[in-house]
């Protein structure tokens, strides 16, 4: 053989501890890390194999996802890919060529949804917030739905690129009135703000395992209600991607209450599912309301500290801010890259720069899951203060 074993693979992997206070992933708790090192089970292991079997773990995960989404939807499961795949899966299942989709855009994730919807052949209409740093009013949303008459309205509850929180309450009444589906992206928001899927008449929603749930990246909790399922059943064209086909995935996750054996669709990662199970269990133990409160308290503490440092928050009004991702304006005369590099090199602390429309303009501090503690906020503020002093490029500061 001519290709030699790579030298880099000769020593075992050793990862230094870093505190991940960016927009995700967040650090997993010791309980979750411990779950990740449990023995691997076969993805089709049933009670015939053992008392604690893989299907039982999948059922517990399903219940945990129903809890965090506050839904009784039977078609609730975890997609084997990151939160982004949740976006791909809802659009792929619900859209057909020439369907009109209306997308609310106040950051990169709305833009991304528009890109994906176009790839599935949909006619994309956009409602764009040009004044970045603001969210959409119910009146703006209703007017846009009235004008465009879409089959599907896509909304991001928490825009991690801009730090904007979009309230969902009231939108479901509009989409029902106009016979339209409501899809909500909760990747960066679930667990930091309330999300009442059934009560708010949301037809499909998804999230990510790696943010507030605190499990590793690689799984996307997802849920569809009966209305969404009916839309899928009435499709004139097949669901274009086998891997995202929710009718098949639903059979693997036993969502249709049939006595038929579970379908083998693909090999799920037992390890990642253990992590997600524990992440959901930790939220259930603490209680969802308490988890939300903890994130909101930490966010309030961060806002106060940032203002005390003489810095400005990017989203002016507090009720429009996403507690899990805070965007902070980069002060004049400061090189944002130097600040984030300083924090990482000196303190192994991750603070991120902006993304998409906020690139170069903001820092992004994530407050997520296990990391949402008062001590971590104090630490971030201390490091930020020190890093700013070391990163001034002009005399304006």
For ligand GLV, which is the closer residue by CB, 301 or 352? 352
369 binds ligand GLV (CB under 6 A): no
24 binds ligand GLV (CB under 6 A): yes
Q: Tell me the residue number closest to ligand GLV, measured at CB.
A: 160
Beta carbon of residue 206, minimum distance to ligand GLV (angstroms, whole number): 13
368 binds ligand GLV (CB under 6 A): no
- Interface map 162-201 toward ligand GLV (x if CB under 6 A): --------------------------x-------------
For ligand GLV, which is the closer residue by CB, 23 or 214? 23
What would the two tokens of residue 218 be? 């690689």
23 binds ligand GLV (CB under 6 A): yes
- What are the angstrom distances between the C-alpha of 221 and each of 78, 113, 190, 232, 269? 4, 17, 10, 19, 14
Beta carbon of residue 2, minimum distance to ligand GLV (angstroms, whole number): 40
For ligand GLV, which is the closer residue by CB, 161 or 175? 161
- Which residues from 199-258 bind ligand GLV, rule CB under 6 A? none
Beta carbon of residue 346, minimum distance to ligand GLV (angstroms, whole number): 22
By CB under 6 A, name the one of 184, 355, 362, 372 that touches ligand GLV.
355
What would the two tokens of residue 349 be? 């602390």
For ligand GLV, which is the closer residue by CB, 169 or 359? 359
- Which residues from 123-162 bind ligand GLV, rule CB under 6 A? 160-161
For ligand GLV, which is the closer residue by CB, 35 or 325? 325
For ligand GLV, which is the closer residue by CB, 83 or 275? 83
Beta carbon of residue 188, minimum distance to ligand GLV (angstroms, whole number): 6
Beta carbon of residue 181, minimum distance to ligand GLV (angstroms, whole number): 24
Cα gap 351→342, rounded to integer Å? 10
Instruction: Give the 3-state DSSP-derived string for the chain, with helices as H, strands as E and coil as C.
Output: CCCCCCHHHHCCCCCCCCEECCCCCCCCCHHHHHHHCCCCCCCCCCCCCCCCCHHHHHHHHHHHHHHHHCCCCCEEEEECCCHHHHHHHHHHHHCCCCCEEEEEECCHHHHHHHHHHHHCCCEEEEEECCCCCCCCCHHHHHHHHHHHCCCEEEEECEECCCCEECCCCCHHHHHHHCCCEEEEECCCCECCECCCCCCCCCCEEECCCCCCCCCCCCCEEEEECHHHHHHHHCCCCCCCCHHHCHHHHHHHCCCCCCCCCCCCCCCCCHHHHHHHHHHHHHHHHHCHHHHHHHHHHHHHHHHHHHHHCCCCECCCCHHHECCCEEEEECCCCECHHHHHHHHHHHHCEECEECCHHHCCCEEEEECCHHHCCHHHHHHHHHHHHHHHHCCECCCCC
**364 belongs to an annotated ligand binding site:** yes
- How many residues make contact with ligand GLV (CB under 6 A)? 6
For ligand GLV, which is the closer residue by CB, 122 or 188? 188
For ligand GLV, which is the closer residue by CB, 23 or 110? 23
Cα gap 284→276, rounded to integer Å? 12
Beta carbon of residue 364, minimum distance to ligand GLV (angstroms, whole number): 7
Beta carbon of residue 121, minimum distance to ligand GLV (angstroms, whole number): 26
80 binds ligand GLV (CB under 6 A): no
Beta carbon of residue 300, minimum distance to ligand GLV (angstroms, whole number): 21
Binding residues for ligand GLV (CB under 6 A): 23-24, 160-161, 188, 355
Q: Which residues are annotated as a binding site for substrate?
A: 364
């Amino acid at each position: 053989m001519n290709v030699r074993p790579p030298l880099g693979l000769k020593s075992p992997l050793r990862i230094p501890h870093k505190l991940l206070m960016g927009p995700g992933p967040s650090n997993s708790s010791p309980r979750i890390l411990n779950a990740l090192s449990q023995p691997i089970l076969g993805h089709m292991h049933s009670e015939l194999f053992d008392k604690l079997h893989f299907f039982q773990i999948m059922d517990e995960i399903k219940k945990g996802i129903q809890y965090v989404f506050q839904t009784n939807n039977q078609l609730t499961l975890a997609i084997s890919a990151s939160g982004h795949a949740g976006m791909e899966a809802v659009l792929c299942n619900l859209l057909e060529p020439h369907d009109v989709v209306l997308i609310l855009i106040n950051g990169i994730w709305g833009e991304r949804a528009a890109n994906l919807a176009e790839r599935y052949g949909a006619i994309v209409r956009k409602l764009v917030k040009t004044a970045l740093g603001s969210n959409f009013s119910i009146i703006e949303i209703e007017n846009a739905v009235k004008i465009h008459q879409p089959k599907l309205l896509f909304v991001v509850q928490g825009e991690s690129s801009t730090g904007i929180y979009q309230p969902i309450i009231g939108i479901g009444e509009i989409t029902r009135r106009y016979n339209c589906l409501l899809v909500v992206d909760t990747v960066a928001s679930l667990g930091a703000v309330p999300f009442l899927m059934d009560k708010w008449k949301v037809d499909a929603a998804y999230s990510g395992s790696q943010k507030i749930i605190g499990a590793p990246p690689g799984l996307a909790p997802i849920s569809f209600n009966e209305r969404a399922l009916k839309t899928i059943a009435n499709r004139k064209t097949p669901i274009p991607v086998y891997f995202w086909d929710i009718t098949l995935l639903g059979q693997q996750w036993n969502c249709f209450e049939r006595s038929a054996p579970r379908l083998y669709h693909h090999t799920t990662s037992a390890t990642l599912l253990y992590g997600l199970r524990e992440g959901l269990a930790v939220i259930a133990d603490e209680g969802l309301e308490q988890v939300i409160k903890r994130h909101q308290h930490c966010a309030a503490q961060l806002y106060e500290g940032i203002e005390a440092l003489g810095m400005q928050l990017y989203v002016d009004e507090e009720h429009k801010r996403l507690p899990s991702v805070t965007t902070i304006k980069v002060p004049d005369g400061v090189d944002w890259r130097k600040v984030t590099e300083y924090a990482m090199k000196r303190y192994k602390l991750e603070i991120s720069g902006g993304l998409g429309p906020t690139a170069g303009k903001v820092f992004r501090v994530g407050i997520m899951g296990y990391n949402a503690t008062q001590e971590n906020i104090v630490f971030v503020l201390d490091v930020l203060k020190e890093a700013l002093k070391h990163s001034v490029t002009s005399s304006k500061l």
